[in-house]
């Protein structure tokens, strides 16, 4: 029997702000000294009063606009009560009934809600049977996004998470490195028979945590789908529970039975002001929309549309604003020339990015070494046939080394220009004609494709230095 998997994601992301969610401690994810950025508020001392971080609220509202969700008119914060050493005050401040954002979609996946909460401290269990708690992360603004259960395969789950990471970075809302725990994905997974699916009856779900890379999201979802199908086929039941992902063993394992929301005894936090969002000018949709950059999806569409890029090409640019800006500065000189736009795309994505990777140069530093005008100069030389593709590669390397040098003078100095002067090439062509009488005869008898062979011979004779277009022209003339 065939089963239909259903997946819904819950994604937490630490937000980039100067200070924490409810106090003025620094929000520094790279802080190495434990408990360096702490105060009575983020330690959860009784009697302290939280103060709202407007930057964090703005980040979430902007994400809401970017995913075309509904921004809350009214919002409040709730206490989510539970006991754990990393949350000494006995509750986490979160949003329950009134999330900042409801609805929306990203990468074709419907979003249920996006809300704001505080991150918890971090516990480590050391080798001397001691547990240590580091409060640097305690109270860091944390956004939680919940999708609808509308994903049906692991690849789409990963695509969604990657798109969210890209969006957070583009908005400056967070770095969202999964490996650093700045973005944490939890996958809810169930399987149902096609008939149940038809009747909109989902199977029992499990929730998988500890996914700290896109790769583990993909593998864990696949493992869990297979595990659940096996259980059902054996006549057993899927137990609703929270499971962990063991990357080394490549399997999920049972952690605890799933708690439900009423276990947390949510209630509105009496110490935090409720917000009437619509009364606060800096939170208005119009004001925030003005601050939004071009979003990755919009840029992908525009680059495909305006510059005739493939999906793959546009995707690379959507991932890098510095590279996109560089590209646009280069082609601004010749937007109406599709040939040179295409050459620019090709040379940037293959040779240029390859070079950056090989020499570990980032896109910003690279565009300082080769100005956009110099890159455009290189493309002009390629388009005019003044330099071969081999020569262009070498020239690009030289340009990267000699900051600010003009491509033409570098090409001349290093003998990279193709010979386009008839007087330089003619003798070689005469020899090719004399040495290949048979092919020449074929050509003259109407087999025009034979010219290709003769061009090849002439290129060989000039050791690749001749401009093939000029060779073709002279050959055609000489052969009449
Ligand atoms: P809970 O009450 O257990 O927290 P929710 O309804 O709030 O469950 O959903 C939490 C997440 O689980 C959401 O991302 C949602 O899309 C997903 N989800 C809900 N039901 C299912 C299901 N049967 N199969 C897969 N995912 C589901
Ligand atoms: Zn603090
Ligand atoms: Mg829930």
Which residue carries 């950056």 as its tokens?
356
Mean pLDDT, residues 185-198: 93
Return the ligand number nearest the Cα of 42.
2
User: Atom 20 of ligand 1 has which residue's CA nearest to it?
Assistant: 149
Q: Quick one: which ligand is closest to 8's CA?
A: 1
Write down the pLDDT at residue 103.
98
Name which residue sits closest to atom 1 of ligand 1, judged by CA.
Answer: 260
Taking the centre of ligand 2 as the mean of its atom positions, its distance from the CA of residue 41, in whole angstroms, is 5
445 and 402 in a single domain? The answer is no
Helices (H), 248-348: 285-291, 296-307, 311-318, 321-331, 338-347
CATH number at residue 429: 1.10.10.410
Task: Tell me the pLDDT band of 416, cut-offs 50, 70 and 90.
Answer: confident
What pLDDT, on a 0 to 100 scale, did the predictor assign at position 75? 97
Q: Is the CB of 190 under 6 A from ligand 1?
A: yes
d(Cα 145, Cα 272) in Å, to the nearest integer? 22
Q: Is the CB of 323 under 6 A from ligand 1?
A: no
Task: Output the DSSP codes for 136-184.
Answer: TTTT-EEEEEEE-S-B-SHHHHHHHHHHHHHHHHHHTS----TTTTSEE
Among 374, 394, 413, residue at a domain's last position: 413
pLDDT at 348: 96
Same-domain check for residues 274 and 311 = no
pLDDT at 138: 98
pLDDT exceeds cutoff 80 at 97: yes
Higher pLDDT, 260 or 396: 396
Residue 51 CA: which ligand is closest? 2
Atom of ligand 1 nearest to the CA of 204: 23
Q: Given a cut of 80, is residue 258 above it in pLDDT?
A: no
Mean predicted confidence (pLDDT) in 262-291: 94
CB of residue 149 inside a 6 A radius of ligand 1: yes
Q: What is the pLDDT of residues 228-247, one digit of tens each?
A: 999 999 999 999 999 999 99
Residues 178 and 258 reside in one and the same domain? yes
Per-residue pLDDT band for 1 (boundaries 50, 70, 90) equals low
Does the structure show a pLDDT above 70 at 194? yes
259 with 403, same domain: the answer is no
Distance 358 CA to ligand 1 centre (A): 44
Q: What is the pLDDT of residues 447-458, one digit of tens each?
A: 888 889 999 888
Do 232 and 163 sit in the same domain of this protein? yes
Helix (H, G, I), strand (E, B) or coil at 133: strand
pLDDT surpasses 90 at 419: no
pLDDT at residue 404 is higher than 90: no
pLDDT, averaged across the chain: 93
- Please indicate whether residue 145, judged by its CB atom, sits closer than 6 Å to ligand 1: no
Q: Which atom of ligand 1 is nearest to the CA of 261?
A: 2
| Pair 196, 168 in one domain | yes
Question: Bigger pLDDT: 123 or 464?
Answer: 123
Whether 232 and 4 have beta carbons less than 8 Å apart is answered as no
Is the pLDDT at 126 greater than 80? The verdict is no
In 334-464, alpha helices (H) = 338-347, 353-358, 363-369, 372-383, 389-401, 407-413, 422-435, 437-444, 451-461
Q: Which domain, by its residues, includes 450?
A: 422-479
Domain end (from 413, 433, 448) = 413
Question: Which is the closest atom of ligand 1 to the Cα of 10?
Answer: 14
Q: What is the mean pLDDT of the segment spanning 150-167?
A: 98
Looking at 372, 393, 413, the residue that finishes a domain is 413
CB 154 less than 6 A from any atom of ligand 1: no
Tokens of 269: 């936090």
Give tens-digit pLDDT for 12-54. Answer: 999 999 999 999 999 999 999 999 999 999 999 999 999 999 9
Q: What is the mean pLDDT of residues 421-429?
A: 83
Which pLDDT belongs to residue 261? 74
Question: How many domains are contained in the chain?
Answer: 3
Specify whether 239 is located in the same domain as 102: yes
pLDDT higher than 90, residue 171? yes
For the segment 100-108, the average pLDDT, to the nearest whole number, is 98
How high is the pLDDT of residue 187?
98
Whether pLDDT at 127 is above 80: no
Same domain, 174 and 235: yes
**325 & 391 share domain:** yes
Task: Of 197, 173, 175, 171, give the one whose Cα is nearest residue 184.
Answer: 175
Question: Which tokens belong to 266?
Answer: 């949510």
Residues 448 and 396 in one domain: no
Work out the pLDDT band at 403, boundaries 50, 70, 90. Answer: confident
Task: Please tell me the predicted confidence (pLDDT) of residue 462.
Answer: 79
Q: What is the pLDDT of residues 300-341, one digit of tens each?
A: 999 999 999 999 999 999 999 999 999 999 999 887 899 999
**One domain, residues 360 and 324:** yes
Please indicate, yes or no, whether residues 31 and 177 belong to a single structural domain of this protein.
yes
pTM (two decimals): 0.87
């Amino acid at each position: 029997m065939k089963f239909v998997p259903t997946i819904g994601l819950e994604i937490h992301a630490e937000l980039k702000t100067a200070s924490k969610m409810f106090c003025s401690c620094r929000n520094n994810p790279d802080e190495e000294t434990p408990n360096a950025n702490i105060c009575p508020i983020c330690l959860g001392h009784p009697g302290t009063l939280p103060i709202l971080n407007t930057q964090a609220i703005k980040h979430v509202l902007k994400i809401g606009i970017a995913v075309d969700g509904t921004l809350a008119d009214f919002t409040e914060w709730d206490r989510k009560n539970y006991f754990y050493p990393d949350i000494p005050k006995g509750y986490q401040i979160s949003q329950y009934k009134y999330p900042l954002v409801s609805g929306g979609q990203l990468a074709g996946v419907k979003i249920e809600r996006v809300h704001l909460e505080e991150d918890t401290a971090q516990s480590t269990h050391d080798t001397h049977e001691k547990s240590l708690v580091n409060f640097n992360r305690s109270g860091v603004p944390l956004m939680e996004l919940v999708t609808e259960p509308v994903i049906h395969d692991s690849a789409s789950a990963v695509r969604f998470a990657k798109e969210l990471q890209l969006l957070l970075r583009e908005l400056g809302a967070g770095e969202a490195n999964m490996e650093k725990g700045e973005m944490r994905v939890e996958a809810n997974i169930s399987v149902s028979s096609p008939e149940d699916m038809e009747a909109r009856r989902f199977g029992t779900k499990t929730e998988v945590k500890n996914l700290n890379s896109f790769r583990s999201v993909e593998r864990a979802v696949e493992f869990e789908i297979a595990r659940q199908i096996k259980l059902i086929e054996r006549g057993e039941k899927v137990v609703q529970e929270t499971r962990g992902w063991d990357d080394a063993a490549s399997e999920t394992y049972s952690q605890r039975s799933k708690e439900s929301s009423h276990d947390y005894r949510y209630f509105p936090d009496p110490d935090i002001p409720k917000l009437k969002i619509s009364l606060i000018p800096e939170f208005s949709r119009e004001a925030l929309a003005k601050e939004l950059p071009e979003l990755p999806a919009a840029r992908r569409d525009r680059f495909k549309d305006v510059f005739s890029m493939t999906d793959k090409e546009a995707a690379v640019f959507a991932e890098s604003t510095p590279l996109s800006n560089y590209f646009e500065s280069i082609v601004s000189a010749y937007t109406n020339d599709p040939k040179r736009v295409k050459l620019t795309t090709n040379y940037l994505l293959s040779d240029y990015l390859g070079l950056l990777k090989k020499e570990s140069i980032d896109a910003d530093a690279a565009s300082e070494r080769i100005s956009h005008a110099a890159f455009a100069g290189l493309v002009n030389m390629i388009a005019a046939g003044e330099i071969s593709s081999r020569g262009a590669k070498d020239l690009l390397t030289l340009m990267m080394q000699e900051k600010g040098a003009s491509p033409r003078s570098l090409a001349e100095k290093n003998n990279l220009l193709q010979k386009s002067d008839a007087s330089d090439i003619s003798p070689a062509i005469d020899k090719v004609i004399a040495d290949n009488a048979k092919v020449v005869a074929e050509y003259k008898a109407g087999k025009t494709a034979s010219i290709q062979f003769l061009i090849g011979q002439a290129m060989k004779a000039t050791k690749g230095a001749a401009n093939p277009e000029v060779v073709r022209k002279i050959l055609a003339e000489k052969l009449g």
